[in-house]
Amino acid sequence: MALIRSVFQDELDGVSQSLVDLTSMVSNSISRATTAILSADLKLSEEIIATDDQIDTFQHELDARIIDIIARQQPVASDLRALVTALRMSADLERMGDMSHHVAKIARLRHPGGAVPAELHPMFQAMGNSAEKIATKTGLVIATRDTEMALQVERDDDEMDKLHRQLIGTLVDPSWTHGVESAIDLTLLGRYYERFADHAVSVSRRVYFLVTGKYA
């Protein structure tokens, strides 16, 4: 019985590590997507779009593994909660990868031009930095199950929300001179970064629930 439990625990640890790995993948993806959108780098944009397929495949394989563990081990109580929560977290992480993919697609669409006017580069760099910071911290939350850090992720998201509001304010200001098409691109980009952070918050909240049995 002890050996069976040890094998099961190894499988649970493997699921947790895969979630950490997936978080690292999406963190790297959003960082590269920010570089691509600000530098109008077509090659990098194509690489990010292709990488999203790898993220999707990784997530699908992880979900299949979790379902197989549930079917074989028939876990109960906290073990079942951990596995069901892992399924939900993997879905959020996959959506974070999608947000990077969408950013790269706008960079590709506007090539050889740039989608982001020069005066807004600092704002989008800040959004990219915030997204990467949140994703990195989310990976640590999964790895350590640190509930205080999980709450910090939600506070970090306030920074992204503030940047998003500033962006929208800029786009609706009567002094905007870059036209409707650019405003639409930038509205979408801002939404992608904001949703990336929201999904990270969702992951951190699930870890908090997993540890405490309560919603943050």
Q: What share of the chain has pLDDT > 70, as a percent?
A: 98
Distance (Å) of CA 41 to CA 106, 108, 111: 11, 8, 8
pLDDT at 4: 61
Q: Find the mean pLDDT for residues 29-54.
A: 97
More confident residue, 198 or 1: 198
Is the full-model pTM beyond 0.85? Answer: yes
Contact 118, 87 (CB under 8 A): no
pLDDT at 1: 56
Domains of the chain by start residue, with CATH: 8-212 (1.20.58.220)
How many C-beta atoms lie closer than 10 Å to residue 81's C-beta?
A: 14
**Predicted confidence (pLDDT) per residue in 155-176, tens digit:** 999 999 999 999 999 999 999 9
Query: What are φ and ψ of residue 103, in 5° steps?
Result: -60, -45
Residue 2 pLDDT > 70: no
Quote the CA–CA distance of 150 and 138 in Å, as a whole number.
7
Cα dihedral 8, 77, 81, 69, rounded to 10, equals 30
